[in-house]
Structure 1
Amino acid sequence: DRKGEFQPRIVKKNQTTLSGDIEEKILSMYAKGMTTSDIEGHIRDIYGIEVSDSTISRVTDKILPLVKEWQVRPLENIYAVVFMDAIHFHVRSEGQIIKKAVYIAIGVQMDGIRDVLGMWVGENESAKFWLG
């Protein structure tokens, strides 16, 4: 406004970070395979605010250290049971939505606690993946 009295509620004036709620929404949309420009459009539609592609990338990049930490965590020496399966997801690849298989191994500790031992992306579900 001309008098400078408008006070935004969602993203405050001169604010450089987003609220946790908006960041969670961005991460959720990113995990579902949406592009940064798609996410920007949805945030604009939902909250009526402009969020740049670089801001969205900065939010999504925050999870990379957590992923690295998970990948190098220590595992148990023995698991009572190990389940192996594949889950199919639609993912964006080269501008197209395609179906990919995510192979997952879950170990059940002796006390019943379950650990995701690993996840791998494959072209499609096949026994050859587990044998190779």
Structure 2
Amino acid sequence: MKFVKWLGIARAKFYEWRRRYGKLNEHNGKTPRDHWIEPWERQAIVDYFDTHPLEGYRRLTFMMLDDDVVAVSPATAYRVLRAAGRLDRHRPKPSKKGTGVARVGRRGSARRRRSRRWRRRSARGRRWFAKDWRAGL
């Protein structure tokens, strides 16, 4: 244990290093899981979608199950088709974010407009209240 003190590390860290000695450095990496789909399954989903382009991803999933193509969940089919760029049917316009804003016909900020409206209403209300109050005397 003099060595651990000399290194200036905790004993737990030393024993962790000792346990991992000689192994690949995979303590922080992704380890393959049984439920991950394989590349051929991804390709099968995309190919099946290309042959049935009018079907949605949920219906497509159950059609693939019936035809014994691939057994995946609708969420997985959606993620695969989204990553392949197959779900962008309506082709949205490119974003204009960051290009500046052209304000036409706007007078002041929304906050100022709201406060002006409130002042008008409250002034009107006081006037009506004053009339009613004077009428009661």
**Higher strand fraction: Structure 1 or Structure 2?**
1
Higher Cα Rg, which structure: 2
Shared fold (TM-score, shorter chain, > 0.5):
no
TM score, norm. by length of structure 2? 0.30
> With structure 1 as the length reference, what TM-score do the two structures score?
0.31
